[in-house]
Structure formats: C-alpha cells, structure tokens
Chain A
C-alpha cells in the first residue's frame, strides 16, 4: 500500500489530465443527473427580470469572448429568451471587441424563435472601445456614444431607442461580464452615480470579487460561472427546454460535479500519500 502511495506521488501529470478528460467525456456521453438548488443571488436576478412590466426595455451589456463562452453563453441565451417571452425589449451593446461575432448570431436566433423584430423589439448597438470611459459615456449619453447601431442605422431612426438617452432611463441593466471591462467597472463608474439597478452574470473566477457588490445592494442579482447559468436555466425552464433547444448549463452542471469530485479525490489522495510516506521515511 505504501509503495503504491509512493508511486502515486511520482505520478506523471499526464495521467491526471487523462483522468480529468475521462471524468468530463464519459458523463457527457452517458448523462447522469444530480439535483442542485438555486441560490439566492441567482433567484434575485431572475426576480429582477420577472418584476419588469411587459413593454419595458432593458440594457444588456454583453462583455464576453470565446474563452468565457462555456460559462456565460448558457446564461445569455436563457436571459434573452426570458426577456423576450416576457415581452421586454432588449438593447444590447458590447465593450469587448471579440463579443460581436458571438452575440449577433445568438441574438438573431433567439429573436427569430420568439418572433421578435429587429429595431422594434431588440437592437444591437455594436462594440464600443474605451473601456471605463465608454461606460462613463453610456451613463451620460447613449446616442452620442453609439451614433448608429451595428447595421449602420442612425440611432434616432431606431424605434426601440426612442426616449432612451442615458443608462438610467432603463429599469434594469444586465451585464454579462467575463472580466475587464465588466461588472466591476459598471458598478464603480455609473451604478452609484446614477443609482442604477444592475444585475450581473460573471465568470466563476470573478464571482468572489462581485459577491460584496451584491451584498452591498450595488447589484440586484448575480449569477456566477456555469453553476449560476445552470440555476438560471432551471428557473427559466422549470418544465424542461423547449423543442430543439439544448440547455448547455444544465447539461454541464452534472459533469462539473463529477470533475470536482475527481479533483477532491486527488487532493485527498495526494495529502494522504504525502503524510503517510513522510512518516515512514522519517
């Protein structure tokens, strides 16, 4: 046994990678289902959307890239569907240069599915560089910051944008944030100044940094990483996904659980091997 533990300590790390690959691929091919609960932060986000009256308009800042796609795309999809089904209009913009090629197809796909019309029910204003300065500008004057939408239509000619000049004209700002610039910058630059209601969906790495913002009331809801996305999907689709729709977050959460169990197993085994073999050696 001790010899086995000693060999385990000198294990080639590539076996660990192979183990991780197996613990991800096998449950994806042969799905298992664990139950999970929705935490209070995600429920608050869901409730913030539920409270919106039909016909209102929200501002969505989609600030993610291909690297953060697995964590944030499931939320973005479920959130858009949630908003459209509640008959809420959506104004989307982005502060990340790699976001538009990801955002536009998703937006068009879900809008088509929910029978929404571009310009009337939703619009994509495009990408704006400038990071925090762009956020400041969104807080002050949206038509000046985005004179046209992503298709080149002057903002004054877009029906959905009539009467919306500043971020505070929107009852809710939803930030899908993969890092900088993102939720932290929205909170620091314009949330307090304009007393905005901001909800955030962020990557797991950022979640511990944003939880204090939620606790302090600077965010009305927070969805962290893939579990947050899965919980939001569970709330939006309590009776399962609509026909032809795959819930990527809920599909992944069970695999994530097994991946965590694998890591925990390695940590326990590694520590056990370290302490037992050290005792024998001394």
Chain B
C-alpha cells in the first residue's frame, strides 16, 4: 500500500528536478541560472553543516555539560576561546597580533591527538597486514586455484608471482640512492608499466563512478527512481520538460542580453 505524497514532497521533487537541470546547464556555458543553483547548494550545505555541528557537537559535548555543572568541560571551552584568537585578528589586528599565538596551543593539541589516533591504525592495518599479504603463499595458491582461476577473478600462481614482481619493480623504480644501470632500467621500466596499469584501473573506476552519477540524475528526471504509484503523483517527466523549457528560455534571454551592445560602449 503506497502512502500518498504530501504537497511538500511533490514540490520538493519538482524543485530537485529544476535545480538538476540548472546545474547541468553549466555543460553549455557558465550562466546565471547555474550560479543561482550553485549558490543555493552552497548555502544549504553550510546551513546543514552548522546545524549538525551545533546540535551534534557543541550542544551535547559542551553547552549541556557546562549547564549540568561539569567543570572538566571548561577545558574544551578554553581551547575554543584560544582558537578564536585567530579570528580576533581579522576584526582587531592589534589584539590579534598580541593574542594570536594562543591559537597554536589547541591546534597543536588537535594535530598531536590526530597523529596518535592515525599512527597505530596505519602501522597495523595499512602497513604490516598489507606487507604480509604482498608475500603470497604460492603452494596454497596452487592447491586452491592452480595457475589461473577464472572463477576467482584470475587468482592463482601467475597472479601471485605478478604481484610480487610488480610490487618489487614499482619499489625499485623509486630507488634513487644509486644511478640506474641497464638492468635496473629494465626493471624500472616494468615498474612504470605496472604503475600505469594501476592508474588506468583507477581512472576507469572514476569514469564509471561519474557515469553512474549521471545515470542517477537521469533516473530522477525520468521518474525511474520512484515506484509507479509515486511517479503518478509527482509527474516527474512533466516537471522535467517544463524545467527544461524554463532553463532554455533563461539561457536564450541571457545570450541575447550578452550580445546586445552595452549602453555607452
């Protein structure tokens, strides 16, 4: 049983379709209707971030605790005020020059704490585990997959050897402590080829991601992201056509105004 959409939901869907086409108009040229949508997007994003930061961070972690008489919360409050000394410099340069150094203390604290949090995770999960996994057990690979297993995305002895040789060649390509001789140049060249392969794979994934986003927008414009019952209430295709007409009209007017010679020119 489909729930009937409210008029606010329907209006929201129409606004979303109109703004999508406004943003896509940038593909034609940078224009005022695109700028309008862009500014709206930035404003709404900042509004959401500020609201979430106030209700999610400041109020529960600082204000509520201070009001409840938690004296330890004075420490983060003091840090916030010290950090604010950087901002003071914008409005009162003399005071900012005098007190600006205070901001360094909370910044140093945040950097140190963050480095501490990151270091253990990076060392354990990203370095040690990955180094261990870059030395495959060829015997086990042979038993489980043989030379090459199509059903397991090419796992097998060949892939294991390619991993080790490719990784070593990449690392040797970045070995600069001695000049590269003829043999080293061959290895280094192979390392570059492996790097190119990985960049190509990453680029391919990125292109795929961007096309996926375009498909997502197209699904919304055509109403294919909604159930048939919802689409019947929203009429997304009518909204798309009307929005397209409005956007094209605005673009035409904008172009004509641009071509008109300026008064006094």
Quick one: which of A224-267 are within 8 Å of B by CB? 224-227, 244-246, 248, 251-252, 255-256, 259-260, 263
Chain B hits for A246, CB < 8 A: 224-227
Which interface residue of B129, B208, B222 has the most chain A CB atoms within 10 A? B208
* B124 close to A (CB within 8 Å): yes
In the bound complex, CA of A239 to CA of B151 (Å): 23
* A39 close to B (CB within 8 Å): yes
Report if A192-B124 is in contact (Cβ < 8 Å); known contacts: A14-B28, A208-B205, A244-B229. yes
Chain B hits for A244, CB < 8 A: 2, 227-229
Contact between chains at B48 and A204 (CB < 8 Å): no
Chain B hits for A191, CB < 8 A: 125
Interface residue from B117, B224, B229 paired with A189 (Cβ < 8 Å): B117
Report if A40-B49 is in contact (Cβ < 8 Å); known contacts: A67-B213, A204-B212, A245-B227. no
Contact between chains at A256 and B121 (CB < 8 Å): no
Number of interface residues of A (CB under 8 A): 57
Contact between chains at A226 and B212 (CB < 8 Å): yes
CB distance from B263 to the nearest CB of A (A): 31
Contact between chains at B212 and A252 (CB < 8 Å): yes
Contact between chains at A24 and B214 (CB < 8 Å): yes
CB distance from A142 to the nearest CB of B (A): 16
CB distance from A53 to the nearest CB of B (A): 27
Chain A hits for B202, CB < 8 A: 208
Which one of B52-60, B75-83, B99-107, B246-254 contacts A?
B52-60
In the bound complex, CA of A28 to CA of B202 (Å): 27
Quick one: which of A25-77 are within 8 Å of B by CB? 25, 28-29, 39-41, 67, 69-71
Report if A28-B205 is in contact (Cβ < 8 Å); known contacts: A70-B212, A187-B125, A192-B125. no
Which one of A115-123, A158-166, A210-218 contacts B?
A210-218
* B206 close to A (CB within 8 Å): yes
Quick one: which of B225-241 are within 8 Å of A by CB? 225-229
Chain A hits for B212, CB < 8 A: 70-71, 204, 225-226, 252, 256
* B209 close to A (CB within 8 Å): yes
By beta carbon, the residue of chain A nearest B133 is A216
Chain A hits for B121, CB < 8 A: 132, 185, 188-189, 192
CB distance from A100 to the nearest CB of B (A): 9
Interface residue from B52, B124, B130 paired with A97 (Cβ < 8 Å): B52
B187-219: contact bitstring with A at CB < 8 Å (1 yes, 0 no)?
Answer: 000000000001001100111110111111111
Q: Chain B interface (Cβ within 8 Å of chain A)? A: 2, 27-28, 48-49, 52-53, 56-57, 114, 117-118, 121-122, 124-126, 129-130, 132-133, 151-153, 198, 201-202, 205-209, 211-219, 222, 224-229
Q: Chain A interface (Cβ within 8 Å of chain B)? A: 14, 17, 20-21, 24-25, 28-29, 39-41, 67, 69-71, 97-98, 127-130, 132-133, 136, 185, 187-189, 191-193, 203-205, 207-208, 212-213, 215-218, 224-227, 244-246, 248, 251-252, 255-256, 259-260, 263
- Supply 21 A–B pairs (Cβ within 8 Å), ascending by A: A24-B215, A40-B152, A40-B153, A97-B48, A97-B52, A97-B56, A127-B56, A129-B56, A188-B121, A188-B122, A204-B208, A204-B212, A208-B201, A208-B205, A216-B132, A246-B227, A248-B219, A251-B224, A255-B218, A256-B215, A263-B207
Query: Told that A192-B124, A207-B205, A256-B215 touch, could you supply 20 new A-B pairs with CB distance under 8 A?
Result: A14-B27, A14-B28, A25-B218, A39-B153, A40-B151, A69-B216, A70-B213, A97-B48, A129-B52, A132-B118, A189-B121, A215-B133, A216-B129, A216-B132, A226-B215, A244-B227, A251-B224, A252-B215, A259-B214, A263-B207
